[in-house]
Amino acid sequence: MHTNITLIWTYLRARCVASGGWDEAGTVVEKVILTAIFAGLAIAVGAIIVAKVTAKANSINLN
């Protein structure tokens, strides 16, 4: 997964440079995009953990 993100990020940076350069405003956009990606990944991991814990709790026999 990390390799795909690195590949996409490298492509986007190359396209930005080819279209006229990378200015200081681009670093803000870069940070916002990375923050959104990592937040999305954290939410996905949290959802997976909650689903697994809930499934395990539901499988406990209380009788």
- Domain enclosing residue 35, as ranges: 23-63
pLDDT band at 46 (very low <50, low <70, confident <90, very high): very high
Q: Answer whether residue 59 is part of any domain.
A: yes
Asked whether residue 51 is assigned to any structural domain, the reply reads yes
- Write out pLDDT tens, residues 24-42: 656 777 888 889 999 999 9
Q: Is residue 12 part of a domain?
A: no
62 in a domain, yes or no? yes
User: Does any domain span residue 38?
Assistant: yes
Q: Which of 63, 12, 58, 54 is closest to 33 using CA atoms?
A: 12
Tokens of 4: 């795909």
Comparison of pLDDT for 20 and 63, the residue scoring more: 63
Q: Is residue 56 part of a domain?
A: yes
Using 50, 70 and 90 to split pLDDT, how confident is the model at 9? confident
Domain count, the chain: 1
Residue 47, in any domain of the structure: yes
Q: Report if residue 6 sits inside a domain.
A: no
pLDDT value for 39 = 93
Question: Is the C-alpha dihedral spanning 34, 37, 38, 39 positive or negative?
Answer: positive
